[in-house]
């Protein structure tokens, strides 16, 4: 979730994934709605099965491709979708109470086929029906009871060779636009258009990646290992992406109670409490994979809950899954997601032990209802499964769970064709060639540069980038109107060092400011960097790196009141970052600062003596731990993709501060004042399906030694109308300072849990969000009053300051508005405000 405060620290960083998105979004500007069918190796059929006498849909009718194992059943609405690579030209349709029927199809084509079945007339003797429990519920109970035995993740140890294929397509592509203007350069891509059976929409592939890996599972948290043996990508650079093509980075398991995709916990059809969310039907039985199996169909009890409809084939003795097919209910409160489906098949690797054989996942995503969108296809195939298999010693000693072999990116096409378990269709093979050809066109470079500018806030110009443009113009009461121009080098100049410089000028104070830096990437796996920086610029002391900078144009537009607490700071720093192993990193920073006084932030003693500046020199050591954290790595920066574990941050600082000599303001005093600081932060995103998810932040710290108020913990204020997720929305600038403090922030997103039950509200997808925040702390009188504090600055005390808020998000799918109420430390009885933010989330 991206709120207005959150365009740092990652928004100015390079990201390979965001370049992919940038390319896709720029192509969206040129393409429109349309349909076109193209030849392929897959047979794709969709349609409706109805009763010929009543024209009503027939649920749970079976459809199979004659002479093959491919098949499906209709939903409770009578619809079906069948996609298969198996050969066959005859579709067999059957249902209890109806005469079976066959229909001819065109292999290798997309087609819509609606079928009507004639009802049978059956004479029966009198039947006495006695009340009994639904056998489908007994079947569900047996599946749940045997989950600990059948869940592959519960096996003691195993190894398997895994093939992963991920494809991204642009959907609803209009072929007519390839005959217009600059788009004629892309006319050749029309040969790669195809039609999706599930949605009936045309699509154009823009990205495909494949990987073959050896996956080892053994007991213990963090004990799994995966070796990427081969990786092949199109559409993006290989740099930093190969490790994300393996099975462990793209995992979903139907045996889990909740399938976590799209930022929601989707309720599995074999959830332990599935009877609360699904209706189950026992519809068929037969031999599947050499075993007698039962077919269990399911559908949601209530609309708008994150649940599926579909069917399972279950082995009769072990109650293990043999096949599964499911699609997400269309009424689910998911943004931009129009259709989701999945298919899974399992095989018996030894008596009573079933292991996945293949998995397929499909998603149709569309930002605009009638505009172009995107398809995502994920295919996983498992083979060479071995139980009780040990991890090789050299691989077990690796710090990272996913290791990329040195030769993974060098495998030739001929060898790929011989080792991939699923052959590529003619269309899929052409994606690699097509993308390489598109990247050579001037149109691609223009679209790429535009997309990079929109997502990176920098415009590429040869071996340099200009920006960031969101800071080009701003205003504050110290500098007046301020203009900024920045420049940085990119990898075209060198891949190991990035130089950056930024100049700023204030038209009221008529002073020039600057920032310069040099970043050296010493190593990428593991990540090791060294950065030197020299600044002479205005700062807000105590500002969080996640909040909007004061020279951001949004800060100027959204201000509630002017910020007079800015100070001019001269800063010289040297920072070394060292990743020890995946999840654990540390950095050490050497820094000197000269903090200058202003008419609004004065350094004055109670005797009336004023100082023009404070000198501060410090060493900060920071350790950060986030288990199983994953990153997208680029040339100079990397972006965290998070993990399911909490982030723990420990920072320890030791420093000296110094004042100029009273008689000689430009010279140093001989008195050095030592101090120390320790701060511990815990932050975690907690998934709580089906009730949503929470963000929790707990932080505490202490300063040892006497320091003046500019070096205390100045709790960050917010006098804009923007929401602060990891800060306080209603604190004023320089309102509270502490040398011992603790704060707790909690925010919960219900994801429509209550609104989904209100008919007129659930149609527009509104969601509930609440939060509670608390701050307590003290500052010794000798520190807070070493200088006369600015007006309004005081200490919180151990009687905490608190805020609570309640609001509505997902307004027009991007807007969040909440009412915030402030408890304690009130200037007037009661205080509340309205805050807003932008958030793009599923």
The 3-state secondary structure of 503-555, one letter per residue: EEEECCCCEEEEEEEEEEEEEECCEEEEEEEEEEEEECCCCCCCCCCCCCHHH
- Taking residues 510-530, report their average pLDDT: 92
Give the global pTM: 0.77
pLDDT of amino acid 21 = 39
pLDDT of amino acid 16 = 38
**What is the three-class DSSP state of 496?**
coil
CB 103 within 8 A of CB 115: yes
Which residues sit opposite 51 in a β-bridge?
A: 117
Angstrom distance (rounded) from CA 258 to CA 536: 51
Which residues sit opposite 211 in a β-bridge?
A: 164, 231
Angstrom distance (rounded) from CA 334 to CA 659: 58
- Taking residues 443-463, report their average pLDDT: 69
Q: How confident is the model at residue 33 (pLDDT cuts 50, 70, 90)?
A: very low
pLDDT of amino acid 670 = 67
CATH 2.60.40.1120 positions along the chain are: 43-121
CB 234 within 8 A of CB 240: no
Cis before residue 703, ω within 30 degrees of 0?
no
CB 614 within 8 A of CB 710: yes
Angstrom distance (rounded) from CA 195 to CA 228: 32
pLDDT of amino acid 337 = 81
CB 576 within 8 A of CB 588: yes
pLDDT at 349 over 50: yes
Q: What is the DSSP letter of 131?
A: -
- Taking residues 735-749, report their average pLDDT: 94
Least confident of 87-91, 183-187, 790-794: 183-187
737-738 and 713-714 strand pairing:
antiparallel
Least confident of 348-352, 473-477, 558-562, 695-699: 558-562
pLDDT of amino acid 397 = 75
Number of residues written out for the chain = 842
Angstrom distances, CA of residue 653 to CA of 650, 656, 702, 707:
10, 10, 10, 13
- Taking residues 615-629, report their average pLDDT: 92
Q: What is the DSSP letter of 390?
A: P
Q: How confident is the model at residue 92 (pLDDT cuts 50, 70, 90)?
A: confident
Span 760-769, pLDDT tens digits: 777 788 899 9
CB 245 within 8 A of CB 210: yes
DSSP string, 784-810: HTSSPPPTT-B--EEEEEEEEEEEEEE
Query: Given 3-state DSSP classes, what are the helix, strand and coil percentages for the chain, each rounded to the nearest 5?
Result: 15, 45, 40
Instruction: Give the closest residue to 512 by CA, choosing from 534, 541, 482.
Output: 482
pLDDT of amino acid 18 = 41
pLDDT at 549 over 80: no
Q: How confident is the model at residue 444 (pLDDT cuts 50, 70, 90)?
A: low
pLDDT of amino acid 332 = 80
CB 170 within 8 A of CB 31: yes
* Residue 792 vs residue 669, higher pLDDT: 792
Instruction: Give the closest residue to 269 by CA, choosing from 88, 91, 140.
Output: 140
- How far is C-alpha 16 from the chain's CA centre? 14
Average model confidence (pLDDT) for the chain? 81
pLDDT at 8 over 70: no
Q: What contacts 433, CB < 8 A, 6 or more positions away?
A: none
The Cβ of residue 243 has, within 10 Å, a number of other Cβ atoms equal to: 24
pLDDT of amino acid 452 = 63
Helix (H) or strand (E) holding 395: helix 393-396
* Residue 555 vs residue 348, higher pLDDT: 348
Instruction: Give the closest residue to 373 by CA, choosing from 536, 158, 174.
Output: 174
Cis before residue 468, ω within 30 degrees of 0?
yes
Angstrom distance (rounded) from CA 266 to CA 283: 24
pLDDT at 781 over 50: yes
Tokens for 239, please give them.
């740099």
Q: What contacts 468, CB < 8 A, 6 or more positions away?
A: 12, 457, 458, 486
Q: What contacts 202, CB < 8 A, 6 or more positions away?
A: 34, 35, 36, 37, 171, 172, 173, 193, 194, 195, 196
pLDDT of amino acid 774 = 94
Instruction: Give the closest residue to 477 by CA, choosing from 596, 602, 598, 597.
Output: 598
Q: What is the DSSP letter of 119?
A: B
Q: What contacts 373, CB < 8 A, 6 or more positions away?
A: 170, 171, 172, 201, 336, 338, 364, 365, 366, 367
Angstrom distance (rounded) from CA 622 to CA 147: 43
pLDDT at 708 over 90: yes
- Taking residues 419-446, report their average pLDDT: 71
- Taking residues 545-572, report their average pLDDT: 75
The Cβ of residue 132 has, within 10 Å, a number of other Cβ atoms equal to: 7
pLDDT of amino acid 248 = 47
pLDDT of amino acid 182 = 60
Q: How confident is the model at residue 824 (pLDDT cuts 50, 70, 90)?
A: confident
* Residue 41 vs residue 46, higher pLDDT: 46
pLDDT of amino acid 408 = 77
Which residues sit opposite 736 in a β-bridge?
A: 794
Name, of 97-111, 344-358, 818-832, the range with top average pLDDT: 344-358
pLDDT at 123 over 90: no
- Phi/psi of residue 714, each to 5°? -90, 100
* Residue 165 vs residue 434, higher pLDDT: 165
* Residue 439 vs residue 695, higher pLDDT: 695
pLDDT of amino acid 112 = 85
CATH 2.40.160 positions along the chain are: 457-838
Angstrom distance (rounded) from CA 802 to CA 774: 4
Angstrom distance (rounded) from CA 314 to CA 310: 13
- Phi/psi of residue 716, each to 5°? -65, 130
pLDDT of amino acid 721 = 83
Angstrom distance (rounded) from CA 749 to CA 333: 13
Angstrom distance (rounded) from CA 104 to CA 75: 22
Q: How confident is the model at residue 39 (pLDDT cuts 50, 70, 90)?
A: very low
pLDDT of amino acid 188 = 62
Q: How confident is the model at residue 698 (pLDDT cuts 50, 70, 90)?
A: very high
Q: Which pairs from 516-521 meet CB under 8 Å and 24+ separation?
A: 519/636, 520/496, 521/495, 521/496, 521/497, 521/635, 521/636
Least confident of 212-216, 591-595, 632-636, 660-664: 660-664
Topology (CATH) of 457-838: Porin (2.40.160)
* Residue 131 vs residue 782, higher pLDDT: 782
Q: What is the DSSP letter of 57?
A: B
Tokens for 263, please give them.
């930022």
Instruction: Give the closest residue to 596 by CA, choosing from 509, 530, 676.
Output: 509
Instruction: Give the closest residue to 318 by CA, choosing from 278, 347, 360.
Output: 347
353-365 and 497-506 strand pairing:
unpaired
Least confident of 72-86, 311-325, 683-697: 72-86
pLDDT above 70 coverage of the chain, percent: 81
Angstrom distance (rounded) from CA 156 to CA 721: 53
pLDDT of amino acid 243 = 52
Q: What contacts 285, CB < 8 A, 6 or more positions away?
A: 292, 293, 294, 295
Q: How confident is the model at residue 40 (pLDDT cuts 50, 70, 90)?
A: very low
CB 503 within 8 A of CB 484: yes
Instruction: Give the closest residue to 628 by CA, choosing from 649, 614, 642.
Output: 642
- Taking residues 6-34, report their average pLDDT: 35
- Taking residues 587-611, report their average pLDDT: 90
Q: Which pairs from 746-750 meet CB under 8 Å and 24+ separation?
A: 746/694, 746/695, 746/696, 746/697, 746/771, 746/772, 746/773, 747/694, 747/695, 747/771, 748/688, 748/692, 748/693, 748/694, 748/695, 749/1, 749/692, 749/693, 749/694, 749/809, 750/691, 750/692
pLDDT at 490 over 60: yes
Instruction: Give the closest residue to 99 by CA, choosing from 81, 115, 113.
Output: 115
Topology (CATH) of 43-121: Immunoglobulin-like (2.60.40)
């Amino acid at each position: 979730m991206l709120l207005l405060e959150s365009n740092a620290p990652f928004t100015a960083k390079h990201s390979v994934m965001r370049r992919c998105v940038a390319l896709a979004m720029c192509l969206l500007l040129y393409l429109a709605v349309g349909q076109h069918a193209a030849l392929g190796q897959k047979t794709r059929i969709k349609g409706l099965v109805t009763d010929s006498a009543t024209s009503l849909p027939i649920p749970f009718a079976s459809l199979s491709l004659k002479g093959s194992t491919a098949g499906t059943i209709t939903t409770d609405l009578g619809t079906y979708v069948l996609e298969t690579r198996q050969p066959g030209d005859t579709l067999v349709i059957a249902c209890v109470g109806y005469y079976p029927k066959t229909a001819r199809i065109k292999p290798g084509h997309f087609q819509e086929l609606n079928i009507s079945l004639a009802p049978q007339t059956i004479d029966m003797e009198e039947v006495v029906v006695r009340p009994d429990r639904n056998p489908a519920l007994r079947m569900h109970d047996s599946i749940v009871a045997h989950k600990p035995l059948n869940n592959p993740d519960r096996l003691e140890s195993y190894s398997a060779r895994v093939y992963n294929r991920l494809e991204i397509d642009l959907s609803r592509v209009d072929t007519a636009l390839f005959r217009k203007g600059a788009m004629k350069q892309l006319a050749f891509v029309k040969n790669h258009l195809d039609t999706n059976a599930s949605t009936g929409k045309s699509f154009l592939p823009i990205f495909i990646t494949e990987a073959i890996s050896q996956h080892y599972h053994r007991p213990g948290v963090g004990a799994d290992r995966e070796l990427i043996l081969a990786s092949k990508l199109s559409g993006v650079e290989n740099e930093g992406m190969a490790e994300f093509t393996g099975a462990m980075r793209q995992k979903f398991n139907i045996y889990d109670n909740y399938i976590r995709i799209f930022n929601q916990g989707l309720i599995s059809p074999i959830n332990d409490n599935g009877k609360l969310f699904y209706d189950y039907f026992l519809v068929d039985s037969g031999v599947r994979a050499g075993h007698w199996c039962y077919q269990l169909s399911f559908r949601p009890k209530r609309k708008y809950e994150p649940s599926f409809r579909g069917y399972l084939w279950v082995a009769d003795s072990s109650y293990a899954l043999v096949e599964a097919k499911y699609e997400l209910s269309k009424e689910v409160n998911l943004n931009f997601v129009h259709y989701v489906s999945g298919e899974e098949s399992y095989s018996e690797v030894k008596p009573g032990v079933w292991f996945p054989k293949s998995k397929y996942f499909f998603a149709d995503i569309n930002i605009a209802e009638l505009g172009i969108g995107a398809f995502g296809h994920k295919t996983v195939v498992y083979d060479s499964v071995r139980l009780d298999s040990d991890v090789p010693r050299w691989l077990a000693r690796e710090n990272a769970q996913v290791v990329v072999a040195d030769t993974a990116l060098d495998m030739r096409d001929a060898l790929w064709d011989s080792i991939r378990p699923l052959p590529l269709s003619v269309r899929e093979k052409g994606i690699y060639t097509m993308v390489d050809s598109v990247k050579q066109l001037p149109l691609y470079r223009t679209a790429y540069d535009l997309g990079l500018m929109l997502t990176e806030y920098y415009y590429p110009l040869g071996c340099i980038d200009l920006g960031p443009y969101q800071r080009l113009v701003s205003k504050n009461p110290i500098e007046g109107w301020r203009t900024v121009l920045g420049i940085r080098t990119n990898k075209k100049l060198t891949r190991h060092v990035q130089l950056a410089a930024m100049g700023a000028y204030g038209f009221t104070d008529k002073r020039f400011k600057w920032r310069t830096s040099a970043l050296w990437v010493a190593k990428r796996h593991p990540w090791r960097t060294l950065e030197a920086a020299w600044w002479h610029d205005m700062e807000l002391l105590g500002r969080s790196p996640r909040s909007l900078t004061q020279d951001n144009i949004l800060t100027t537009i959204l201000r509630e009141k002017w910020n007079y607490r800015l100070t001019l700071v001269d800063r010289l720093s040297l920072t070394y970052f060292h990743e020890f192993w995946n999840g654990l990193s540390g950095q050490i920073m050497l820094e000197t600062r000269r903090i200058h006084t202003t008419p609004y932030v004065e350094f004055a003693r109670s005797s009336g003596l004023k100082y023009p500046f404070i000198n501060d020199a410090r060493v900060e050591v920071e350790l950060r731990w986030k288990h199983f954290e994953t990153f997208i790595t680029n040339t100079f920066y990397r972006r965290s993709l998070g993990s399911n574990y909490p982030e723990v941050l420990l920072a320890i600082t030791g420093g000296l501060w110094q004042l100029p000599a009273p008689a000689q303001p430009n010279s140093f005093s001989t008195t050095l004042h030592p101090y120390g600081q320790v701060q511990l932060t815990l932050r975690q995103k907690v998934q709580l399906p089906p009730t949503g998810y929470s963000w929790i932040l707990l932080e505490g710290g202490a300063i040892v030694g006497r320091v003046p108020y500019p070096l205390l913990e100045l709790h960050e204020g917010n006098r804009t109308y923007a929401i602060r997720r990891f800060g306080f929305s209603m604190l004023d600038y320089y309102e509270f300072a502490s040398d011992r403090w603790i704060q707790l922030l909690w925010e919960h997103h219900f994801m429509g849990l209550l609104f989904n039950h209100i008919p007129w509200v659930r149609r527009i997808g509104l969601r509930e969000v609440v939060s509670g925040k608390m701050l307590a702390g003290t500052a010794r009188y000798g520190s807070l009053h070493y200088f006369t504090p600015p007006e309004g600055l005081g200490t919180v005390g151990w009687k905490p300051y608190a805020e609570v808020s309640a609001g509505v998000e997902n307004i027009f799918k991007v807007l969040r508005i909440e009412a915030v109420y402030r408890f304690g430390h009130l200037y007037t009885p009661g205080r509340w405000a309205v805050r807003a933010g932008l958030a793009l989330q599923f």
